[in-house]
A and B are shown apart, each in its own frame.
Chain A
């Protein structure tokens, strides 16, 4: 058997794959968090819960309405985004003029409420969801076997991340968002309805979490805590990448997934803390994060 650094190659590639998969979710979720934080200055603790809602909506669409995965891929983010719009207009917007902690506490409370509701409805072990048949099976890459669905998740996540990056960095809508992040009142004086932009940005950010939830549904068990399991790591990713940096959130997400995957091979006990160790080191060396601009 081929060995790399004293480890069997299939094990190494398997962990690399797992790392990239996890990194896909880190990237998609931290992207939404970074966009929301950038414009709203709200640390959205409900992000993980909305990811979970996305997975449950995917399951519910099939289970109750017979709507399949491919429709859910578009419908679930829309539903989660619409729910986010209601949350922003109904609750979160009242925290903008207050200390940043109020937004954090509100969204933290929302996360607990959502998780509690889904635990009541479906139990803490959750439900299972089978992905589309066409994506089942594995692909022989020569050096390893790739489950087709996992390959699909990586490609879909990469495409969505690129689309979001492109929208924000290269389009007029993105320029408005970046400008409103810097100086919302001036952008509003130019005639832009900034409150509406803010509401739609929140909806878009949580729709990304919803999309990640759809991708996750066939991969993990769909359960009420699937978001909170992930979100701690995702917050570390955002801090490492630099608050509010879009490209930084994407690269850091994938990068840390891979680092975590390899740690699993070389020193398994450290795999759950390695992200936080990296965070501590980065904060010491670059307090604004790897890609953040010093305030």
Chain B
């Protein structure tokens, strides 16, 4: 793992209309790392991902991605810069087939996974290429949502609760997938409520409370700090 900071977020504030959701988030993600944002419902984890992409009505602070300031950039500029976004609702388009969903995001840089590789990793997506995207099961939709940003050459993937609402066997499958993604050199910023899942995936964890990072925990310290974390996460 290199020490180069791929994503450096400093003092990130975000607002929805009048409500102030992020109050100065500070964290970084290094190249090749898998980092999670842990926290209770409503702590601001999903909003952090949206604020990085520029998908909130108002934000301030600094979002440096590979040395480039994105705080004033439109969402398509962040996408073009090489950040792949997988939203919490998965964002599968009902009016598009599975194949069209997969091929939709434009290629933003060389080095993305080939469609053949993606189909090897997700055989279901090849079998059901012609079905409507939303006819897939929840787990398949999640895989499609991740698969389509692997194709584009994006180097940093923002995954918002990929295991939410999925059966344990599917969660395991998603876990293997993220492991494979890491082996292929992608950098991942993961929002997770599933503490157990997060602990198997990530190198480091940031604990988020009330729109701020309150603690950083390397994964190897997790066992010794599990009790206090469970208390703080309310699980």
Contact = CB atoms under 8 A, between A and B. Distances in A.
A181 B76 contact: no
Interface stretch (A16-24, A47-55, A140-148, A171-179): A171-179
Nearest to A192: B76
A178 B76 contact: no
Interface string B74-99: 11101110000101000101111000
A163 interface: no
A192 B53 CA distance: 13
Interface in A107-149: none
Interface string A153-190: 00000000000000000001001101101110111111
Interface stretch (B103-111, B178-186, B191-199): B103-111
B100 interface: yes
B105 A185 contact: no
A288 to B, nearest CB: 14
A191 B76 contact: yes
Given A186-B91, A190-B152, A191-B80, A179 B75 contact: no
Among B103, B105, B149, the one with the most A-chain Cβ atoms within 10 Å of its Cβ is B105
A98 to B, nearest CB: 15
Interface residues of B, number: 24
B201 to A, nearest CB: 23
A189 B85 contact: yes
Q: Is the interface of B mostly helix, strand, loop or mixed?
A: loop
B55 interface: yes
Given A172-B103, A190-B104, A185 B75 contact: yes
Interface string A188-207: 11111110000000000000
Interface residues of A, number: 18
A175 B94 CA distance: 11
Nearest to B100: A175
Interface string B46-85: 0000000111000000000000000000111011100001
Given A186-B87, A188-B75, A178 B152 contact: no
A172 B79 CA distance: 18
A182 B93 contact: yes
A61 to B, nearest CB: 37
Among A172, A179, A182, A191, the one with the most B-chain Cβ atoms within 10 Å of its Cβ is A191
Given A189-B78, A189-B79, A191-B152, A175 B104 contact: yes
A183 B152 contact: no
A69 B108 CA distance: 43
Nearest to B106: A191
Contacts of A176: 104
B76 A188 contact: yes
Contacts of A182: 93-95
A185 to B, nearest CB: 5
B86 to A, nearest CB: 10
Interface of B: 53-55, 74-76, 78-80, 85, 87, 91, 93-96, 100, 103-106, 108, 149, 152
11 contacts: A179-B93, A179-B104, A186-B91, A188-B75, A190-B76, A190-B79, A190-B85, A190-B105, A192-B79, A193-B74, A193-B76
Given A191-B152, A193-B74, 20 more contacts: A178-B93, A179-B93, A179-B96, A181-B95, A183-B93, A185-B55, A188-B79, A189-B53, A189-B85, A190-B79, A190-B85, A190-B104, A190-B105, A190-B152, A191-B79, A191-B105, A191-B106, A192-B76, A192-B106, A194-B76
Interface of A: 172, 175-176, 178-179, 181-183, 185-194
